[in-house]
Chain A
Amino acid sequence: MAIGGAWPWLALAGLGMFHGLNPAMGWLFAVALGLHRGSRKAVLLALPPMALGHAVSIWLVATSVMALGAVIDAKPLHAATGAILVLWAAYHWLYGHRHRVRVGLTTGLAGLVLWSFLMATAHGAGLMLVPALMPLCAGSPVIGAGSLPVALAAVGVHTLATLAVTGLIAFVVYDWLGLAVLKRGWVNFDLLWTGALAATGLALTLTA
């Protein structure tokens, strides 16, 4: 299985760290649950279900792209996914503020999986990984047994990076920084995120 060098893996990990940084991807919810339940353990317990929800969302996109990659030529696939990303960025910009809220502070672990899955999916987290996934699926020529381990590895690398950063920030905020950081340090991640989606989409389209 040829996998086109190290950079796609580094990109997957780097994007995982970027996703983990975003308060809307989980660290903030973990902190809130810890504060509500007065328990550091609640912060820790929130992390695995969030990682699982994120991973499922990413998995659906990764396997879809790989499956498409097996039946569609690289060029139109690049162009199509690029266009989808740009549209997703526009949608996120215009309507990202009006999603139904389905999970609240009394949630259990299953609710956290659902919440994380919905957040990652609505934010287009998986789509953002497409450029990094492309070379990987190009490296596994036939859909089926050969590509499955690659997809698993890709989702695994990305999710572990997300989880590591989510957990790190959650505990740094819970243990040391406190809530004041929300007022000072909460930069406009929606703006960064929209930019990242649009830039990825444009890059894909232009390199098609």
Chain B
Amino acid sequence: MPTWTPDPTFYPSPRMAMKAPAERLAYVASFDPTRQLPDAIAVVDVAPDSATYAHVVGTVAMPNTGDELHHFGWNACSSCLCPNAPHPHAERRYLVVPGLRSSRIHILDTKANPREPSIVRVLEPGEVAERSGYTRPHTIHCGPEGIYVAALANTRGEAPGGVFLMDHETFDIRGRWEIDRGPQQLAYDVWWHLGHDTLVTSEWGLPATFENGLVPEVLLGGQYGHRLHFWDLHARKHTQEIDLGAENQLVFELRPAHDPTRAYGFVNSVVSLKDLSASIWTWYRENGAWAARKVIEIPAEPADPALLPPILKGFKAVPPFVTDIDLSMDDRFLYVACWGTGDLRQYDVSDPFAPKLAGTVRIGGVVSRATHPKAAGAPLNGGPQMVEISRDGRRVYFTNSLYGAIDAQLYPDGLDGWMVKLDAGRNGGIAFDPDFFVQWPKTHRPHQVRLEGGDCSSDSYCYP
């Protein structure tokens, strides 16, 4: 049924979105690394006044096994209020949930019962490949022309990966997004600057180089992605490539400033071949073109080889392995997940070229195995991975699994899933919520978190 006024979860500007009511539910991708049981979307109660706070209160099992649920997103969000292509009476109602391994896409309706969404459509891998020309769907973003999906490979599982569009009401696949891809071959994340008519993509690698784990020869050869690509959002044409240098491997999460008038954003390179450090780069507009500069470098920590997994023994160090970053709605704090060392860092990026470390917690980690206030002193494995921030910036949630086959390379003795929450101060500083430690069901591992009503990596805005 059409609605008369805009979806109340759509906000014209990030400033207004910060005043949104606190989320009461979190949706979390949950997968079985052994591919025996169906993956699921888990629903976690995040309302502090609830009797089931910090518990999984709903589970939506997928119809197949082996999908490897990973990232997912909403069918519609605040970009529906954009003036050049308004669809304000669409509803933020459906979760678009791809299987990264299976290339199957599930549509979940959260409206009737937000705690127990129902699967209303499944796009089978053959249909996805035939209509989009792509496989391995990864990032989902609601945007000006519908749902944008970044996919890592073509129908043969090879290069190029790219972006395709889905209809945000029918969920039919409309086809490949790019008209001219220029030199772009590898894909990973996609996002944009709506105020600057620019789309940005990043690079991971092809399925053969990650579906059985990272390949050391490919990594040491600098063959994983190390570039950023800039596109004309409306002409759908590649406009510029920025090479961060082959030593900066795995260029992952794109976090453009939420304020649409600001022409800068942050991206992480997971590992440097120079010294196993990880880095954060700021891309920015200068003299009519895009540029990028390294603004944070997090060093590897020396470690006893006896405590390291086989892939790291020779290096005698544990890399920070920064696999996710997330930017608060006011563009002030950047959260950096160091999956290797176990740090979750908060940087004040008020000056995007001079970040200042504002807070750190440590949990899990390849060597440190740091515990949580509610874990009764037990050592924890895995490390801070997918991070999500509440719209008001006061709560930060994260989980500890990266990708089944890669989990086994850094945490070969197994990875027990957990999800935790931090409380963030108004002016910085982070601390664990001592009551929020969700031990994940042993059969599954948690990945991306999406918050009810939107979060800091779901929506984009057209008004400052």
Taking A98-B167, A115-B84, A183-B6 as contacts, is the C-beta distance between A105 and B462 under 8 angstroms?
yes
How distant is the Cα of A179 from the Cα of B11 in the complex, in angstroms?
Answer: 9
Q: Count of B residues near A, CB < 8 Å?
A: 39
Taking A36-B195, A104-B194, A104-B233 as contacts, is the C-beta distance between A97 and B83 under 8 angstroms?
no
Query: What's the least CB distance linking A92 to chain B, in Å?
Result: 12
Which of chain A's residues have a CB closer than 8 A to the CB of B462?
A: 32, 105
Interface residue stretch chosen among B85-93, B149-157, B180-188, B323-331: B85-93
Interface residue stretch chosen among A55-63, A74-82, A129-137, A186-194: A186-194
Q: Is A72 part of the contact surface with B, judged by Cβ < 8 Å?
A: no
B196 A105 Cβ-Cβ under 8 A: yes
Which of chain A's residues have a CB closer than 8 A to the CB of B260?
A: 36, 105
Taking A106-B197, A182-B81 as contacts, is the C-beta distance between A97 and B87 under 8 angstroms?
yes
Query: A22-36, CB under 8 A of B: which get 1 and which 0?
Result: 011000110110011
How distant is the Cα of A112 from the Cα of B205 in the complex, in angstroms?
Answer: 40
B89 contacts which of A35, A183, A190 (Cβ < 8 Å)? A190
A103 B234 Cβ-Cβ under 8 A: yes
Which of chain A's residues have a CB closer than 8 A to the CB of B83?
A: 23, 28-29, 31-32, 105
Taking A115-B84, A188-B89 as contacts, is the C-beta distance between A97 and B197 under 8 angstroms?
no
Which of chain A's residues have a CB closer than 8 A to the CB of B341?
A: none
B4 A104 Cβ-Cβ under 8 A: no
Taking A32-B463, A36-B261, A179-B12 as contacts, is the C-beta distance between A101 and B2 under 8 angstroms?
no
Q: How large is the interface on A (under 10, 10 to 19, 20 to 34, 35 or more residues)?
A: 20 to 34
Within 8 A of B (CB), among A135-184: 179-180, 182-184
How distant is the Cα of A190 from the Cα of B169 in the complex, in angstroms?
Answer: 15
Query: What's the least CB distance linking A19 to chain B, in Å?
Result: 15
Query: B149-190, CB under 8 A of A: which get 1 and which 0?
Result: 000000000000000000111000010000000000000000
Q: Is B145 part of the contact surface with A, judged by Cβ < 8 Å?
A: yes
A188 B86 Cβ-Cβ under 8 A: no
A187 contacts which of B5, B167, B168 (Cβ < 8 Å)? B5
Within 8 A of A (CB), among B355-381: none
A183 B11 Cβ-Cβ under 8 A: yes
B5 A188 Cβ-Cβ under 8 A: yes
B4 A188 Cβ-Cβ under 8 A: yes
A179 B13 Cβ-Cβ under 8 A: yes
How distant is the Cα of A98 from the Cα of B76 in the complex, in angstroms?
Answer: 13
How distant is the Cα of A23 from the Cα of B12 in the complex, in angstroms?
Answer: 14
A188 B3 Cβ-Cβ under 8 A: yes
Interface SS of chain B:
loop
Which of chain A's residues have a CB closer than 8 A to the CB of B6?
A: 182-183, 186
How distant is the Cα of A100 from the Cα of B167 in the complex, in angstroms?
Answer: 12
B12 A183 Cβ-Cβ under 8 A: yes
Which of chain A's residues have a CB closer than 8 A to the CB of B87?
A: 97
Which of chain B's residues have a CB closer than 8 A to the CB of A190?
A: 2, 89
Which of chain A's residues have a CB closer than 8 A to the CB of B90?
A: 97
A101 B145 Cβ-Cβ under 8 A: yes
Within 8 A of B (CB), among A77-118: 97-107, 115
Which of chain B's residues have a CB closer than 8 A to the CB of A29?
A: 83-84
Q: Which residue of B lies closest to A97 (CB)?
A: B87
B168 A186 Cβ-Cβ under 8 A: no
Q: Is B16 part of the contact surface with A, judged by Cβ < 8 Å?
A: yes
Which of chain A's residues have a CB closer than 8 A to the CB of B10?
A: 183
A187 B84 Cβ-Cβ under 8 A: no
Q: Which residue of B lies closest to A37 (CB)?
A: B261
Which of chain B's residues have a CB closer than 8 A to the CB of A191?
A: 2, 4, 89
B8 A100 Cβ-Cβ under 8 A: no
Taking A28-B83, A29-B83, A32-B462 as contacts, is the C-beta distance between A182 and B174 under 8 angstroms?
no
A28 B86 Cβ-Cβ under 8 A: yes
Within 8 A of A (CB), among B16-39: 16
Taking A36-B260, A183-B8 as contacts, is the C-beta distance between A101 and B144 under 8 angstroms?
yes
Which of chain A's residues have a CB closer than 8 A to the CB of B8?
A: 183
Q: Is B384 part of the contact surface with A, judged by Cβ < 8 Å?
A: no
A23 contacts which of B4, B86, B174, B194 (Cβ < 8 Å)? B86
Query: What's the least CB distance linking B377 to chain A, in Å?
Result: 47
How distant is the Cα of A29 from the Cα of B233 in the complex, in angstroms?
Answer: 17
B4 A187 Cβ-Cβ under 8 A: yes
How distant is the Cα of A127 from the Cα of B146 in the complex, in angstroms?
Answer: 27
How distant is the Cα of A184 from the Cα of B10 in the complex, in angstroms?
Answer: 11
The 3 lowest CB-CB distance pairs between A and B, nearest first, are A104-B197, A29-B83, A28-B83
18 example contacts (A-B, Cβ-Cβ < 8 A) are as follows: A29-B83, A32-B83, A32-B84, A36-B464, A98-B167, A101-B84, A101-B85, A102-B234, A103-B84, A104-B144, A104-B197, A104-B234, A106-B197, A179-B13, A180-B16, A185-B5, A186-B81, A188-B89
Given A106-B195, A183-B5, A188-B89: 20 more A-B contacts, CB < 8 Å: A29-B83, A32-B82, A36-B195, A36-B261, A38-B261, A97-B90, A98-B145, A101-B85, A101-B144, A103-B84, A103-B234, A105-B194, A180-B16, A182-B6, A184-B5, A186-B88, A188-B2, A188-B5, A190-B2, A190-B89
Give residues in A with beta carbon < 8 Å to B. Answer: 23-24, 28-29, 31-32, 35-36, 38, 97-107, 115, 179-180, 182-188, 190-191
Give residues in B with beta carbon < 8 Å to A. Answer: 2-6, 8, 10-13, 16, 81-90, 144-146, 167-169, 174, 194-197, 233-234, 260-261, 462-464
